[in-house]
Chain A
């Protein structure tokens, strides 16, 4: 099957979204603490279980996004940078392949 893997990927993504929607509406219905990052959950565990105080924070030496919105914006910029790079290279390869195919067709 020509598009077997693409089909499986789409099924995987749809199943993933379905499980999220089910969990969100049924399991975590009305729970305002749900869906925080696993990094934050791990950090909370350390603070709660070990009476630990971090000895340094990012704010001590670098820029810290002043709000969740700005943090999301910076993550989106990171993803955009990676996405542009991927699109540029794959676009170049696709064009190169098309030109080669056209040239081969002309010669035939």
Chain B
């Protein structure tokens, strides 16, 4: 999903930076508040960041004959919300731009918006919506994690299609072409990532259910119910 350095015309690079900045500021504010009010969640925040570091570094081959990487944003999104994920994702993307020549500083806005803002935001809204109607917890985690991953690549395709509409066929044709490159490759990776996050949430529920309750991911009754599901 990394749009390479210089691969967005300057006006689009500036546009995506302008879109990113307010959410990054909100994320920094929320992060500061979280550290002040819930210091005990810091290890979990570290784990959430750790997963973004690990999974976004893994370039895996997929069915379409190209390689891509998971995003790892689901844990951070579900527990801490999409905007704190924006901050963590930005740190990872800056690291990759400066030390790995992967992505770039001018395309950072676009890359943050896809991987660390819209993907997590969609995943978060779906998670909250499904939990509200009491959909199964692990099923909800799976769907949210898949969407966090997949939407990242849909947004990357959208960003490129907006910047480079096809000369005949325009935006839609271009969007379809980039979806074919980015999103189709991502489908199997997103499914495996969804399964991985189910297992991660299972172990957090076993080891530190109090943190999930504190962050309003699960109520105490729901923790007992969820634990019952895998202790049967």
Q: Closest residue to A47 on the B side, CB-wise?
A: B7
Q: Which residues of A contact B55 (CB under 8 A)?
A: 82
* Chain A 1-30 interface residues, beta-carbon cutoff 8 Å to B: 1-6, 8-9, 12-13, 16, 19-20, 23-24, 27-28
Structural contact, B195 and A8, CB atoms closer than 8 A: yes
Structural contact, B62 and A85, CB atoms closer than 8 A: no
Q: Which residues of B contact A54 (CB under 8 A)?
A: 4-7
The answer to whether the Cβ of B166 comes within 8 Å of any Cβ in the partner chain is yes
Main secondary structure of the interface of B (DSSP, over half): helix
Rounded to whole angstroms, the CA-CA distance of A59 and B6 in the bound complex is: 11
Q: Among B47, B166, B191, which residue has the most Cβ atoms of chain A within 10 A?
A: B47
Structural contact, B199 and A5, CB atoms closer than 8 A: yes
Structural contact, B192 and A27, CB atoms closer than 8 A: no
Interface size class of A (residues with CB under 8 A): 35 or more
Rounded to whole angstroms, the CA-CA distance of A1 and B68 in the bound complex is: 33
Query: Assuming the A-B contacts A38-B185, A86-B51, A92-B43, are A56 and B104 also in contact, with contact meaning beta carbons closer than 8 angstroms in the complex?
Result: yes
The answer to whether the Cβ of B207 comes within 8 Å of any Cβ in the partner chain is yes
Rounded to whole angstroms, the CA-CA distance of A7 and B202 in the bound complex is: 13
Of the candidates B1, B6, B50, B58, which one forms a contact with A57 in the assembled complex, judged by CB atoms under 8 Å apart? B6
Structural contact, B207 and A97, CB atoms closer than 8 A: yes
Contact digits for A30-52, partner B, Cβ 8 Å, 1 yes 0 no: 01001111110111011001101
Q: Which residues of A contact B59 (CB under 8 A)?
A: 37, 75
Of the candidates A24, A46, A63, A74, which one forms a contact with B7 in the assembled complex, judged by CB atoms under 8 Å apart? A46
Q: Which residues of B contact A52 (CB under 8 A)?
A: 7, 164
The answer to whether the Cβ of A102 comes within 8 Å of any Cβ in the partner chain is no
Contact digits for A61-93, partner B, Cβ 8 Å, 1 yes 0 no: 111110000010011101101111110011011
The answer to whether the Cβ of B54 comes within 8 Å of any Cβ in the partner chain is yes
Rounded to whole angstroms, the CA-CA distance of A38 and B164 in the bound complex is: 17
Q: Which residues of A contact B54 (CB under 8 A)?
A: 78-79, 82-83, 86
